[in-house]
Amino acid sequence: MTKKALNPLRMKDWEIAAAAEDQMKMVYQLAEEMGLEQVELLPYGHYVAKLDFIRILNRLKDHDVGKYVEVTAVTPTPLGEGKSTTTMGLVQGLGALGKRAMGAIRQPSGGPTFNIKGSAAGGGLSQCIPLSDFSLGLTGDIDSINNAHNLAMVALTSRLQHEFNYGDALLAKKKLRRLNIDPRNITTGWTIDFAAQALREIIIGIGTKMDGFMLRSGFQITVSSEVMSILAVATSLEDLRRRMAKIVVAFDKAGAPVTTADLEVDGAMTALMYRAINPNLMQTIEGQPVLVHAGPFANISIGHSSVVADKLGLRLADYLVTESGFGADIGFEKFWNLKCRMSGLTPNCSVLVATVRALKMHGGGPPVAPGRPLDPVYTEPNPQLVEKGLENLMAHLETIKKSLVNPVICVNHFYADDDEEVAVIRDAARQLGVPMAVSRHWEQGGKGARELAEIVVDACEKPARLRFLYEADLPIKDKIARIATEVYGADGVTYTAPCEQKILALQGDDELSKYGVCMVKTHLSLSHDPALKGRPRDWVLPVRDVLVYRGAELIVPVAGDIKLMPGTASAPAFRGIDVDVHTGKVKGLF
């Protein structure tokens, strides 16, 4: 099938992906073009593979490092604004310029894949394929995370039961020391990779004493697990193993932490994860390599492709394009102050993705809701509404500039966008002195992203600089306040009384005081309130809880009403997903 036959105006994304898959490169060809040796490729079928990153990095340790490009966005509508599509399009656009380019994106979660947002493989003629492999488990990394996390909970709950039922003599006979776990102070629950709101709060251990210790518990979505954050930031298998041992699952009755090492489950958890640390290799519709590793949800997790994937891509390509989750207030801020600090990498350029649709919403347009038709205001010309919405773009641009990273603006062009509306954004970019491109990658693939690729190449020729928002040893509340006021635009921060007590205890620990802050808040607003659009003013960030991820080395404040387990909507995507029983191909994914 020729490229012209793939028409995004007449075909659904999954239909385009299915047609493109008939002519995609086998993974062996892709690896050869990347300069990989056969022993470095760990195939999963003919079109997907894991890469032995330790072997590759050891071989290429003296190799030149490519240009490092990050993709972020304005505050999105609930429908998303096409960051993954833009990431794929930019890789393809760089390829159209003759550059050796590679993408690094996150593996989708089953929650959004079967719910509203879809699998985030991109769209139109800028997608990561094969789509069904990408969307439905890939090589099992998320299953490994799920199993490792839940094994820790099995160890914890069984230990609670045995310590309650057995005396010290019997525990000693079984070579167990009494941990005196406080059942009222369990710090984590279980994981499942679906949006299962009915499992947020549960009671476990109902029955006899042989059915476990009864206590209140609950589930979070798998990609919000600390184990996922560890996969994202670990730099080696040794580092992964070290971090696994530090995970705190509860406190004892004296208030001391109980870790996975105390439960002697850390080694088994690492055994479940040892394959997952190798990044996954896929490709764009136009045949450029894409590394897929770690998970999404930057609003409730770190939400980035892994440090390992980025380091690998920078050794294998001249340009590595990596994606951050949601808007720059969440995704870029965490990329900047967490991922870059942990990896030691300095980006050459940040691409701020905007859409006319999102800017109209921030300018006062009607609410945008998944599953409902768009209001005509989003498909009819209205330059004035776009202009009013520019304040949201300005806020995110200011955030990028504070990091000293070179910014460019990308208007992800929707086919219904009006030229006058786009001109409003271009005029604003010109006044700000920031390069801007209108990219038509969704409709035209790499050819439509050439203008974007050209301004990214130019930006990457400027000196690469990076200045963190806060020093590592800044007090925890000061770190939170700096993010809230300088990135979100809040007037200050308030804490619940339990939060105040937790933070006071944390600040007495020299190690914890150096951890980065990984904020949990809505992605639908610069504030904590998803209803506040544009650039909210005169508000205060309410922090209701503070979690500590000792393994990932993160302090995790929880702001507003956001939860670690999303809910499934009334019109979920799984209703349209099926398998063609004659060809064996999955249909209906998006």
pLDDT tens digit string along 548-562?
999 999 999 999 999
Q: Is 485 a catalytic site residue?
A: no
Choice among 117, 241, 477, 479 that is catalytic: 117
Choice among 195, 298, 328, 354 that is catalytic: 298
Give the count of domains, the chain. Answer: 3
For residues 115 and 216, state if they share a domain. no
Distance CA 138, CA 574 (A): 18
Q: Is 298 a catalytic site residue?
A: yes
For residues 422 and 342, state if they share a domain. yes
Question: Would you say residue 2 has pLDDT above 50?
Answer: no
Among the listed residues 125, 183, 223, the one whose alpha carbon sits nearest the alpha carbon of residue 448: 125
For residues 503 and 431, state if they share a domain. no
pLDDT tens digit string along 447-506?
999 999 999 999 999 999 999 999 999 999 999 999 999 999 999 999 999 999 999 888
The answer as to whether 571 is a domain residue is no
Decide the pairing of beta strands 248-252 and 257-259: antiparallel
pTM of the model: 0.95
Question: Would you say residue 564 has pLDDT above 70?
Answer: yes
Choice among 50, 99, 106, 159 that is catalytic: 106
Q: Is 190 a catalytic site residue?
A: no
Choice among 85, 270, 355, 399 that is catalytic: 85
The answer as to whether 572 is a domain residue is no
Tell me which amino acid residue 267 is.
Answer: G
The token pair that represents 393 in the structure block = 């773009």
Q: The CATH number of the domain where 203 resides is what?
A: 3.30.1510.10
Q: Is 117 a catalytic site residue?
A: yes
For residues 109 and 150, state if they share a domain. no
For residues 441 and 520, state if they share a domain. no
pLDDT tens digit string along 108-126?
999 999 998 888 899 999 9
For residues 154 and 45, state if they share a domain. no
For residues 164 and 117, state if they share a domain. no
pLDDT tens digit string along 200-213?
999 999 999 899 99
Phi, psi of 260 (to 5 degrees): -60, -30
For residues 372 and 421, state if they share a domain. yes
Q: Per residue in 295-305, is it b (16+ CB within 10 Å) or e — as a string? A: bbbbbbbbbbb
For residues 150 and 86, state if they share a domain. no
Peptide bond between residue 530 and the one before it cis (omega within 30 degrees of 0): no
pLDDT tens digit string along 514-537?
899 999 999 999 999 999 999 999
The answer as to whether 566 is a domain residue is no
For residues 20 and 50, state if they share a domain. yes
* Average pLDDT of the residues in 254-272: 97
Q: Is 200 a catalytic site residue?
A: no
Decide the pairing of beta strands 202-204 and 215-217: antiparallel
The token pair that represents 290 in the structure block = 């894409």
The answer as to whether 268 is a domain residue is no
The answer as to whether 564 is a domain residue is no
Q: The CATH number of the domain where 18 resides is what?
A: 3.40.50.300
Domain extent, residue 229, equals 141-260
The answer as to whether 577 is a domain residue is no
pLDDT tens digit string along 364-409?
999 998 778 889 999 999 999 999 999 999 999 999 999 999 999 9
For residues 367 and 284, state if they share a domain. yes
Contact 479, 487 (CB under 8 A): no
Q: Is 429 a catalytic site residue?
A: no
Choice among 114, 442, 539, 590 that is catalytic: 442
Q: What is the pLDDT of residue 117?
A: 80
Strand partners, 42: 50
The answer as to whether 545 is a domain residue is yes
The answer as to whether 582 is a domain residue is no
